[in-house]
Structure 1
C-alpha cells in the first residue's frame, strides 16, 4: 500500500473536497493523510510515496503560508512524485483553466522557488450564503467584473469533476 500526503491550503473547503475526490479515485491501494499547510506542520516526507499539494486563490492570491511552507520544505518538494494544483473561480472560463493559461499559476511560478513537474488548475465553488458580508460584497463585485454569477442567494460549484478524475489518474502514474 502506497502512502500519499495530501497537503492543502484551503479558504472555503473546495480544495479539500477536490482532495477527497482524488483520494476516492486513487483507490484502496493508497493510504492518504491530510495536512493543513496553514498549521505550519513539520513533515517527514520520507514516510510518503507521493505528495499532492492543493491550494486555493483568494482575492487574486495564494495564501502566504503556502509560500512559507514551500520555502521550509523546498528540498523535499523537489522529489520525483510531487504534484500541485490550484483552485480558483477564474478557471471556470475556458482558456483560463490550464497551467499554461492560468494567471495564478504564472504568478505562482514567478514567486515560488518550487516548480512542480505536474500541475493542474481547477475551478472552485461560489458559496455566497456562507460568506460574511464583506466577502460576499467583494466576491460579488469581482464576479460582476468577470461576467460571473452575482445572485448572492446561490451556491454554484464550477469544479469539473471529470477533469479532477483525469488528474488523479495522472498522479497515480507519476
Structure 2
C-alpha cells in the first residue's frame, strides 16, 4: 500500500473537498493523510511515497503560509513524487484552467523557489451565503467585473470533477519512491 500525503492551504474548504475526491479516485491501494499547511506542520517527506500540495487563491493571492512552507521544505518538495494544484474561481473559464493559461500559476512559478513537475488548476466554488459581509461584497464585485454569478443567495460549485479525476490518473503515474 502506498502512503500519500495531502498538504493543503484552503480558505473555504473546496481544496480539501478536491483532495477527498482525489483520495477516492486513487483507490484502496493508497493510504492518504491530510495536513493543513496553515498549522505549520513538521513533515517527514521520507515517510510518504507521494505528496500532493493543494492551495486556493483568495483575492488574487495564495496564503503567505504556503510560501513559508515552500521555503522551509524546498528541497523535499523538489522530488519527482511531489505535485501541486491550484484552486481558484478564474479557472471556471476555459483557457484559464490550465497551468499555461493561469495567471496565478505564472505568478507562483516566478515567486516560488519550487517548480513542480506536475501542476493542476481547478475551478473552485462560490459560497456567498457562507461569507461575511465584507467577503460577500468584495467577491460579488469581482464576479461582476469578471462576468460571474452575482446572486448572493447562491452557492455555485465550478469544480470540474472529471478534470480532477484525470489529474489523479497522471498523479498515479508520476514518479514514486518505491
- Relative to the length of structure 2, the TM-score reads 0.97
**2:75: which partner in 1?**
75
Report what 2:150 is aligned to: 150
User: Who is 1:109 aligned against?
Assistant: 109
Say what the alpha-carbon RMSD is for the aligned residues.
0.3
Q: Deviations over 1:105-142 (max 9, x none)?
A: 00100100000000010000000000000000000000
Matches within 5 A, 1:11-90: 11-90=11-90
- Paired residues, number: 174
| Deviation at residue 52 of structure 1 after TM alignment | 0.1
State the shift of 1:32 in Å: 0.2
- Specify the SS of the correspondent of 2:121: strand
Tell me the CA shift for residue 95 of structure 1.
1.1
- Where structure 1 has 5 or more consecutive residues not aligned to the other structure, the ranges are none
TM-score, L = length of structure 1: 1.00
Runs of 4+ in 1 over 6 A off after TM superposition: none
- What is the CA deviation profile of residues 52-72 of structure 1, one whole-angstrom value per residue up to 9, with x for unaligned ones? 000000000000000000000
Q: 5+ unaligned residues in a row in structure 2: which ranges?
A: none
